[in-house]
Amino acid sequence: MSLQAVGASKYARSVKAKVAQWEKDLIMISDVIDCWMLAQREWIYLESIFSGDDIKQQLPEQAKKFMRFDANYITLMHTVDKGRNVR
């Protein structure tokens, strides 16, 4: 909201391009975080299913596949956490 107010100001001509880029970047960041939150909710749901011993016995190949994806997902999230692009 503040960036929109600055961008709409008649005194902001010299920084209008910078303000527009900030708005674009913040929208992108917000969209990515929304997607991550959705993915995490789904992941938590699937994790509870595939961590059960009965599912591991009934669907061993799918459980193994999920565990591989789970390990990759955890590695990815640790990498993202260590990144300094957005803090």
27 lies in a domain? yes
Number of domains, the chain: 1
Name the DSSP class of 84.
-
Residues 54-73 have a mean pLDDT of: 92
Taking CA atoms, 58 is separated from 21, 22, 50, 69, in Å, by: 51, 50, 10, 19
State pLDDT tens for residues 12-49. Answer: 677 778 878 888 888 998 999 999 899 999 989 999 88
Instruction: Tell me if the pTM is above 0.85.
Output: no
Query: Residue 49 is part of which domain span?
Result: 2-82
Residues 83-87 have a mean pLDDT of: 71
87 lies in a domain? no
